[in-house]
C-alpha cells in the first residue's frame, strides 16, 4: 500500500504549481500510470480523496490515464501489448524484450476552476 506515499508526492507537486490561496480552485489532477508500474488505481483514488478531504482541495478529481504495458522483441522486432505484464513477446514467445511503455508514473497537468465557476 505505497499509494498513500505516491498521493503525498502528487499533492506536493500540485502545491508547487498552485499557490495555497488558490487551493480551492483545484478541479482535477491528471496523472499517467503505466499498467506495469505496480500501482492500484482504486487505492490511488481512495488515498487521494482521503488526503484532500476537509481541505480547500476537497472535491478535486484524480484523473488517471492508463498506459498499456508494451514490450518490443529483440529477436523478431515486433512490439506487443499484454495485460498480464509478462516480459514475453506475444508473436515469437521470446523473452529477450525491452519495455517500451507501462512503467509511467507522472503528473501531467492540473485543471483549475475560474473564479466565475466557483461563484456559481
Partner 1 sequence: MSVITIERKILEKNDEVAGQNRDIFLRHGIFAINIVSSPGSGKTSLLERTLTHLKKKLEVAVIEGDVQTDLDAQRISALGVPAVQIVTKGGCHLEASLVKEALASVDLSGVQLLIIENVGNLVCPANYDLGEAVKVVVASVTEGDDKPLKYPTMFRNASVMVINKVDLLPYVTCKIDVLKRNALSVNPSLKVFETSCVTNAGIAEWCDWLQKNASKE
The contact set with partner 1 (CB under 8 A) reads 1-2, 5-6, 9-10, 12-13, 17-18, 27, 31, 36-39, 85-88, 95-96, 99, 105-114, 117
Spell out the long-range contacts of 74-79 with Cβ–Cβ below 8 A and sequence spacing 24 or more: 74/98
Please say which residue, 50 or 86, places its beta carbon nearer to partner 1. Answer: 86
Please say which residue, 18 or 49, places its beta carbon nearer to partner 1. Answer: 18
Q: How many secondary structure helices (H) and strands (E) does the chain include?
A: 3, 6
Least distance (Å) between residue 34 CB and partner 1: 10
Cα 92 to Cα 77: distance, rounded to the nearest angstrom: 10
Least distance (Å) between residue 54 CB and partner 1: 22
Q: In the chain, what is the straight-line distance between the N-terminal and C-terminal CA atoms, in Å? A: 38
Least distance (Å) between residue 13 CB and partner 1: 6
Least distance (Å) between residue 69 CB and partner 1: 10
Report yes or no: 28 and 60 within 8 Å, Cβ to Cβ.
Answer: yes
Amino acid at each position: 500500500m505505497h499509494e498513500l506515499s505516491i498521493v503525498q508526492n502528487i499533492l506536493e507537486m500540485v502545491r508547487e504549481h498552485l499557490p495555497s490561496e488558490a487551493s480551492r480552485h483545484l478541479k482535477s489532477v491528471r496523472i499517467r500510470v503505466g499498467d506495469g508500474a505496480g500501482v492500484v488505481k482504486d487505492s490511488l483514488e481512495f488515498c487521494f480523496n482521503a488526503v484532500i478531504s476537509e481541505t480547500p482541495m476537497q472535491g478535486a478529481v484524480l484523473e488517471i490515464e492508463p498506459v498499456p504495458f508494451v514490450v518490443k522483441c529483440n529477436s523478431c522486432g515486433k512490439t506487443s501489448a499484454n495485460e498480464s505484464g509478462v516480459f514475453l513477446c506475444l508473436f515469437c514467445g521470446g523473452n529477450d524484450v525491452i519495455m517500451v511503455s507501462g512503467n509511467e508514473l507522472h503528473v501531467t497537468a492540473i485543471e483549475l476552476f475560474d473564479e466565475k465557476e466557483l461563484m456559481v
